[in-house]
Every structure is written in C-alpha cells, then in structure tokens.
Structure 1
Amino acid sequence: MLFPCTRGRKSSREKILDAAAELVGEIGAGRLTLEAVAEKAGLSKGGLLYNFPTKEALLQGMIQRMIDQVASEREALRERAAPGPNLEARILTKALLNMCCGGKMQEVATGLLAATAENPRLLDPLRQVIGATLEQLKSTSEDLDAALLAWLATEGLSNLEMHSLSPFSEEDRDRIVKAIDRLVTKGIAE
C-alpha cells in the first residue's frame, strides 16, 4: 500500500465542504466566511484557498456535492431496481424522496437559499442537471405524462420539506408518496 495514512481519512476538500455545510446550517451562507470555514475544517486559509479560491467557488462546491449525492443515490437505487415501466422516473423519485428530509442536506439547502437569491448563477449546475433529467425522462419513459407528473410532485414535496414548509402530516406524506409510486409504476389511467 503506497499511502497507508490516507486510507479512511477525508480529503481536505471533503473537510472544507463538511465544515462549510455545518456553518451554513448554523449561520446561513450570507454570513459564511472563508476564515471561519478554514478554522472549522482545521486547515489554514491557504489550504482552503487552494481548494476553493473564492466564497462563490466554495458555495458552488457545496451545490455540486449535493448534486453528486443525489446522483450517487440514484446509482445505488438503479443497481437494486426491479425491471418495469418508467425505470428512470422510479429511480429519480425514490432518490429525491430518500434524500429530501432532515439532516445536513436540508440545513445546507435552506442555508444556501439566500446565497442563490443574491447570485442565481450558483444554480447553473443544478439547471443543467434538471435539463438533463428532463431529456432522460423523455427518452426512457413508457408513460411520459406519468413520469413528468411524478417528478413534479416529488420536486414539490421535497422542496416543501427541504425548506421546512410542508403542511403535510406523516399520514398525508405517506399517501402522496404512494400516489407517486403508483404513477410511475402503473401510469395514468385513461
């Protein structure tokens, strides 16, 4: 083994993103400073600047990590998914629903909301993913109407939950999730 000390350790980039996510959850992106992130990550400011030369680059890195986490969840679900109609829509909706509630992703999304309002370009990578997702659903869905409705319902529910705005009880949520699942597995009854 060439690098025995690095096995199991987080990279500097991961430490920085973890520290930034924790701080954004606590104080929001607007009050986030590179100095505070470096201190929280246990790195010098130079070490942070090597990975993320600006606050905008750091925020973009945080958004990209969220995109990558959803992509990883989708791949894990794809490996276990049963064959059937609207496979990509089933995987997509399940991944989004699995990841939307509580935890760090919710804190980071809420904390980044203000930053993306001030700088909408931060959302450009997400816009690209959304466009690619739409094209993938269009090219793979047996029942495109059902796939699109399920995706929209999932995005709506997950956004309400991500920003702590959901008015739904657990019972309501379960009913909605089952309806989404029916849409992507059985389609829309004509």
Structure 2
Amino acid sequence: MPKRPEDYMADRRERILDAVDRCCWEKGWNQTTLRDVAKAAGLSKGGVYVHFPTKTELLRGMLQRNLEHLDKLGTAPDPQTFVQWRLDSLDFLAGPGGRERAISLGELQMDGLRAPELRPLVEEVTRHAVDVLEAMVRRLCPRLGQEEARDRALSILCLLEGLRNYAAVAESISLEQFRRIVTRELTALLDCNGD
C-alpha cells in the first residue's frame, strides 16, 4: 500500500479529533467509543485505528491539540483582542449544549489525570497555558516583574477554568453575566496603565 502524503494524514487526524469533540459534546467522553468516533468522522474503525489505536491515544490526541491551540493565545496584539478571543471561544458555555460541553471538557481533563501515561501531558498543557499567558502579559505590560506577570497569567487561567467548571455544575449561566465577568476581570488583569 502506498504511503499517504503528510498533509492528507494531518487532515485526517484533525477530522478524527473534530469527531471526538462532537461525540464528547453529545454523549460525554466516558460514553464515547472508537466506533462512535469513526461514524462521526465518516471513517471505518480501521481508519481511526491508523491514527489512534486506543481510546487513551484519542485522549492524548485531544490533549496535544489543546497544547498546540494554546500558542495562539499568546499572539493577541492588545488586551481588547485577547478579551474578545476569550469571549468568542467561551460563548458556547452559555449557549445550547454549553453545560454538556463543559462537562465533556472536564471529563477529558480528569481522565487524562487518571491515566498514568497521560498525566504528564495534562500537566504539560497546564504549565504551557500559564507560560503562554505569562509571556503575553509580559509583552502587553513590559513594566511588570516576572512574578506579577505569572500571578496574572495564573489568575486568567483560573478565571477561565472556573467559569467552565461553574457552567458544568450550574443549571444555566446568563450570557450577559458571563460576558460581563470575563470582560471586567480579564480587562483588569491586563490593565498595564498603573504598572
């Protein structure tokens, strides 16, 4: 069998991970099977196995994709853009299916922490998130010291994770309240005028 081009394989991998995301949203991570993922991706189970031979490897793929997506956060040219990106990407929490989506994301993270072979990757994703946010804060607020920049980065991450977790346990969250909190708190954390 001829070898497939790299871009074809990368596209197929993303298609599978997108299918995992949809399945998790609909059924939750714990109820999602490789068969479900294959069906959602429009592939055979064998087509999924080429990239992800086990459910643990699917989880590894999701975590690695999150790691890759984190780097974009650090490229925000100004605080307003960063706030808008966060609002755009987190609006789903207050929308239809938001609670299920938040639960699914929590399941992925917890299952990653439970799997001894994946725990270091989950920890790396978290460290990388703080590092990326710290670099952005330092770039946007160059007068801040490293400790204060890291504290603000961790505060940003805790705010966003906390809101996601709240959306998972709360029956509903008001979109207006959610946007107000995110805008106010992120703007305050990225305010460099007093620094």
Q: TM-score, normalized by length of structure 2?
A: 0.65
Counterpart position of 1:3: none
Which residue of 110, 113, 117 maps to 2:106? 113
- The residue that corresponds to 1:186 in the other structure is 192
Q: Quick one: structure 1 residues 60 and 105, their matched pair in 2 at CA, closer, same or farther if it must change by over 3 Å? A: farther
Give the letter for the 1:162 counterpart: R
SS at match of 1:51: coil
Structure 2 residues without counterparts, runs of 5 or longer: 1-6
Runs of at least 4 residues off by over 6 Å: 90-94, 103-106, 166-169
**Does the alignment pair 1:130 with 2:126?**
yes
**Residue of structure 1 equivalent to 2:158:** 156
Q: CA deviation at 1:25?
A: 0.5
Q: Write the letter of the residue equivalent to 2:92.
A: G
Whether the aligned pair in 2 keeps the contact of 1:93 and 1:154 (CA below 8 Å) is no
Structure 1: segments with no counterpart, 5+ residues: 1-6
Give the total of aligned pairs.
174
2:53: which partner in 1?
Answer: 53
Q: 1:95 to 1:118 in 2, by over 3 A?
A: same
Q: Which amino acid is 1:143 matched to?
A: L
Q: What is the Cα deviation at residue 153 of structure 1?
A: 3.5
What's the C-alpha RMSD, in Å, of the aligned pairs? 4.0
1:89-124 Cα deviation digits (max 9, x unpaired) = x98776555533317998555314234434414453
Q: Aligned runs of 1:1-190 on 2, under 5 Å? A: 11-75=11-75, 77=76, 81-82=77-78, 96=86, 98-102=88-92, 110-120=103-113, 121=115, 122-134=118-130, 137=134, 140=138, 142-144=143-145, 146-163=148-165, 164=167, 165=169, 170-171=176-177, 173-174=179-180, 177-186=183-192
Residue 37 (structure 1) shift: 0.8
**What is the rounded CA distance, in whole Å, between the counterparts of 1:186 and 1:51 in structure 2?**
45
Give the distance between the partners of 2:11 and 2:99, measured in 1 at CA: 23
**Counterpart-to-counterpart distance in 1, 2:81 and 2:123:** 19
Amino acid at match of 2:74: R
Summarize the Cα distance change of 1:123–1:176 in structure 2 as closer, same or farther, 3 Å threshold. Answer: same
Alpha-carbon offset, residue 26 of structure 1: 0.7
Q: Give the drift of 1:58.
A: 0.4
CA contact (8 A) 2:156 2:189 kept: no
C-alpha change, 1:132 and 1:155, in structure 2 (3 Å) is closer
